[in-house]
Every structure is written in C-alpha cells, then in structure tokens.
Amino acid sequence: MTQPIEGFSKLTKEQKIDWLTTHYTTDPEAAKALLKRYWNVAEDVQQLHDEFIENTITNYYLPLGIAPNFLINNKLYAIPMAIEESSVVAAASKAAKFWLDKGGFKTQVLGTEKIGQVHFMYHGNKERLTAFFEQVRPKLLSDASAITKNMEKRGGGINKIELRDKTEALDHYYQLHCTFETLDAMGANFINSCLEQFAKTLKAEAQSFPLFSEEEKAIEIVMSILSNYVPDCLVRAEVSCPVDELKGGSSESSRQFAEKMVQAVNIAKVEPHRAVTHNKGIMNGIDAVVLATGNDFRAVEAGIHAYASKDGPYTSLTHAAIENGTFKFWIELPLALGTIGGLTSLHPLVKLAMEILGKPSAQELMQIVAVAGLAQNFAAVRSLVTTGIQEGHMKMHLLNILNQLGATEDEKKTLTHHFKKHSATHNAVVEAFEKLRSTK
Ligand code: MEV
C-alpha cells in the first residue's frame, strides 16, 4: 500500500511527478510523458501556471471558443467561452444570430451591492450590545480606513454595517452584516480584509465598554467572511420580438412555438427537477464566460443557485411571456464579477478575453454574462420544444465519437458529411464508421 508522504509541496515538479506516477499509475513512463505533453512550450507561461496553485504538475486544457454576433444594447460583441461541452458555443452563436435582426439583447444592472459578515457569539443583554455597536460603529470604519482608502478614492468602499440578532436561529449568535461597493473588483480580498479588521476592533473595543459585564466583554468571534449570496448584485437581460417574427421549427407556427416556450419556462418555474436542468443549461453559458474572463465560477454558481430558491422552492432563473403579441424572454440573476485584480491581470488568455470584450467594466461584464446565460437557455429550450435536444447535440458530439473510434481525417470528413442528412445516434455513428472501414 502507498504510504503517506511528508513535505510533498516542497519537492520539485519533476520529483512530484516521479513520486505520483510511481505510486499511482500502472505505466509511470507513459503517465510522465502525458503530463509533460501538456506543459506549455513557453517557459514563462508554464511558470505562471505552476505558480497559480500549489503542487501543479501540468495544465488541464479546456477549449476556448468564440460566440460572435451578440448584439447587446446596440453594441456587437464576440463572446469568449471556455467550455468542454460540444454544443454550447454552437448554441450560443445560433441564439445570438437569431436575435441579431430582432433588436438583440437589452440589459440592465439592477444593483452592485456585495455582502460580508462577521459572525460572533455574545452572552448577555441585547440592549447593551446594541448600545455598544452604536458606539463602536465609527471606530469600525476608521480602523479599516487603511484598507478602504484606495477603494474610496475610486468611489467604492463600505456601504453599511448592521448589527443583526440571529439568536432565534442559534443561541447567542449575532453578526455584523456589512455591505460594500467594490466597483470593478470582485472584491473578495477587499471585503475579507475589512471584515477581519471589523472583528479585531469589535473584540478589542468590547474590553473597555463600561456597560458590559465581564461575560459580555468576552465577545467570541467565530469567523469573518464575504457572502457569495449577493441578491442585490443583480443584472437583468431580455430579448423580445413580435410573436409573428418567431420561427420555432419546421412544422410549427410562430404562435405555437412562442406558447410552447412559455409553457416550458412555466414548467421550470413550478417543477424543481426541471428547474435544475433548465438552470444547468443557463449555467452552460454563464460558467463558460465566467471562466474565460478569469472569474470565480464556484462563487457565481453558489450565488445563482441560492438566488434560484430565494422564495422557497428552487425555480427557473428565466421568465417568458406573451404580451400584446410580443414574445418576451428574460433572466434576472446575481453576479459578483471582477474585471480588475485576481486572474484578470495575470492569465494571458484572460487578458485577451477582456480585450476581445472591449475591456469591460464589472457592470458591463455582468450584462454580457447574463446574456450568455439567457442565449444558452433560449437555444436549449427552443431545441427541446421543437426538434428535441439530441439532434443538434449529437451532431456536435459526432467528432468526439469519431475521435474515440480513432477515425482518420478522411473518415471524419466522410462521416460528418453523411450525418448532415442522418440522425447521429451513438450506435448509428459506430455502425457507419465500421461500414466505412470495412469497405476499404
Ligand atoms: C445540457 O447541457 C443542457 C440542457 O439539458 C438544458 C435544458 O435541458 O434546458 C439541454
């Protein structure tokens, strides 16, 4: 059995790979060769990647694709998307083109407020804690001024600090619930630094508050951390057009198509099993742009799914309606994004993605990302209520299957052509491939 290893992080990259492949792979030489094949030939690029995280042994590539023709608030964007799922970029591009001559996407940022909390335990009288908080509030702000100075110069900073009594949920539990404006930064470091300073001040000042008993002075800080649930850092994106201009599928009238779209969204609103998949389709677009622009997709995912159940049951993030002959399709979701700091200034491809997007502000990026989610959902639901998802999906997946089968470039060409007119199920592809090989 493999023994635990001490000091793994201190080994060189080569030593880490040696140890790993010797103990955990059946063919260490092949595994080593594979890992090294994915090293970047440019040493400076590789070093950058080595230093992003601890214990880097190689790079894990995702394709970076482009979905062009996105008209957003009358400006044309080509949207970079980092994603492995074969049909996503194609679907986004199709949706962009569909809405291009119908006025495109209209978006609006509804709020930019970020949240952080100092969670603490207090054993004592609530009125005295409130009095203490009122007294200490200016000091909380002034003690954090070294951290907030630059952000304030740019127009951001701490918006509000509130004392919240959470003792009904958990004995002795209180919090400082704080809101921030972090402008073009995602703001995690800024917020966490402010919160940790608030916690220090709170604890220190409690020692000398004259109304506190000894027990009350012993405020116990549990943790200080931003919240990835940001329901007031919100963006809305919308498309609309006269119902008559919609063409759903070959056999359906525009009206029927519009009604089916609304029905499909309404099902996702009331049925959590469907809502999760419906929103997964939205996240196909959102995550791909969030990743391509070097933002934290885990934070975005966590916040968005919490928002999808803000009123109780988990529900659809998109909405659809037919009003006075107009089909409307829109999304509203929270997005805490940054266009400065973090990976955005480090990763060369992220920098390029930002350039392609016209060096957007965080607010502009929120709008682009929301549009990517809406477009993806439109494309998915449109397929679902017309042809079904498999037709387009398998066409896009065809190359993956052919690569798995070891098809040559010529074979790929022949079979791609063949499946333009035939349904590309997995079995059908395997059969056609075998038939082609046997005729040679
Ligand atoms: C697949 O990645 C996403 C879909 O399942 C989304 C949906 O069902 O709406 C097609």
One domain for residues 432 and 354: no
Torsion of CA 296, 300, 303, 308, to 10 degrees: -170
pTM of the model: 0.92
pLDDT at 203: 98
The residue segments making up the domain with residue 426 are 393-438
Whether 354 is in a domain gets the answer yes
Which runs of E-coded beta strand occur in 273-337? Answer: 318-323, 326-334
- Would residue 27 show up in a list of annotated catalytic residues for this protein? no
pLDDT at 382: 95
pLDDT at 248: 54
Report the length, in residues, of the chain. 440
Measured from CB, residues less than 6 Å from any atom of ligand 1 are 85, 277-278, 280-281, 284, 380-381, 384, 389
326-334 vs 106-109, strand pairing mode: unpaired
Whether 57 is in a domain gets the answer no
Structure tokens at 400: 């993956």
Whether 45 is in a domain gets the answer yes
Residues 227, 81: Cα–Cα separation, whole Å: 26
Integer angstrom CA distances of residue 174 from 27, 88, 221, 321: 55, 44, 10, 43
Residue 341 DSSP label:
S
One domain for residues 68 and 120: no
* Mean pLDDT of the 353-357 span: 98
Between the CA of 280 and the centroid of ligand 1 the distance, in Å, is: 6
Q: Percent of the chain having pLDDT more than 90?
A: 90
Between the CA of 381 and the centroid of ligand 1 the distance, in Å, is: 8
Pocket test for ligand 1, best of 283, 284, 318, 385 (most atoms within 8 A of CB): 284
Whether 246 is in a domain gets the answer yes
Nearest protein Cα to ligand 1, atom 3: 281
* Mean pLDDT of the 180-209 span: 97
Q: How confident is the model at residue 284 (pLDDT cuts 50, 70, 90)?
A: very high
One domain for residues 89 and 192: no
One domain for residues 292 and 372: yes
Percentages (nearest 5) of helix, strand, coil residues in the chain: 50, 20, 30
Split into its structural domains, the chain has a count of 4
Whether 58 is in a domain gets the answer no
Q: What's the CATH number where 244 sits?
A: 3.90.770.10
Whether 2 is in a domain gets the answer no
Between the CA of 320 and the centroid of ligand 1 the distance, in Å, is: 17
Pocket test for ligand 1, best of 277, 282, 283, 315 (most atoms within 8 A of CB): 277
pLDDT at 387: 84
Query: How much is the mean pLDDT over the chain?
Result: 95
Integer angstrom CA distances of residue 182 from 192, 194, 197, 403: 12, 12, 17, 46
Residues 130, 211: Cα–Cα separation, whole Å: 11
One domain for residues 253 and 370: yes
Q: Is the pLDDT of residue 424 over 90?
A: no
Domain final residue pick, 197, 227, 257 = 227
Nearest protein Cα to ligand 1, atom 10: 380
What does the pLDDT look like over 53-69, one tens digit per residue? 999 999 999 999 999 99
